[in-house]
Amino acid sequence: MTSTREELTGEIQQRLIRFIAEVVLYNHAVSGKVGLGASDSQFMTLLQTYGPLTPRQLAEHTGLTSGTVTGVVDRLESHGFVTRRPDPRDRRKVVVTPSMEAIQDKLVPLYAEQGERMHAVLATRSVEELKTISEFLADSIAEADS
């Protein structure tokens, strides 16, 4: 029976790796179904995480060339996943905005199964435990942003 702090933290780290692996694989499979390549999928993740971004910002986040970014945005736009809008403040810039409608229609349904499974797991937890889990996630996100 693992019970000491050291044992538990080690156990959590291992399980986290395993859990993340599952998610990453699922993610990859879903992206393929919608016809999104690796960079396309990465862009969508960035846009959903950080909100609308300019091509330059996307290039900095991904390490890709500006030319490549234009191409990727072209693809995403032609599939309806993002929209391009000129920045009213600086007309050199372009703002790439994720299309919530397309995400809702095409992406979310593919994650429904995963969402249900997570819901089932959470349903067996007490309110107290849910708070613990939620705070843990919040802190992990905050730490990752730093």
Q: Is 125 in the site for DNA (CB under 7 A)?
A: no
The CB-of-54 to DNA minimum distance in angstroms stands at 3
Which residues make up the interface to a second copy (CB under 8 A)?
Answer: 2-5, 8-9, 11-13, 15-16, 18-29, 32, 37-38, 42, 45-46, 48-49, 61-63, 114-115, 117-125, 127, 129-134, 136-141, 143-146
Q: What is the DSSP track for 27-45? A: HHHHHHHHT--HHHHHHHH
Residue 90 near which of a second copy, DNA, none (CB within 5-8 Å, type-dependent): DNA
CA distance 125 to 134: 12
Q: What angle do CA 145, 123, 2 make, to 5 degrees?
A: 70
Q: Is 76 in the site for DNA (CB under 7 A)?
A: no
Beta-carbon neighbour count of residue 36 at 10 Å? 21
Nearest to 41 by CA among 114, 120, 103, 125: 103
Size of the site for DNA (CB under 7 A): 27
CA distance 112 to 11: 28
Q: Is 33 in the site for DNA (CB under 7 A)?
A: no
Q: Are strands 94-98 and 82-86 parallel, antiparallel or unpaired?
A: antiparallel
The CB-of-30 to DNA minimum distance in angstroms stands at 15
Q: Is 45 in the site for DNA (CB under 7 A)?
A: no
Give the per-residue contact string, 85-104, with DNA (x = CB under 7 A; - = no). -----xxxxx----------
Distances in Å between the Cα of 55 and the Cα atoms of 2, 63, 101, 117 are 49, 12, 21, 36
Q: Choose one: 14-22, 35-43, 106-114, 132-140; the region binding DNA (CB under 7 A).
A: 35-43
Residue from the set 75, 79, 103, 114 that interacts with DNA by CB under 7 A: 75
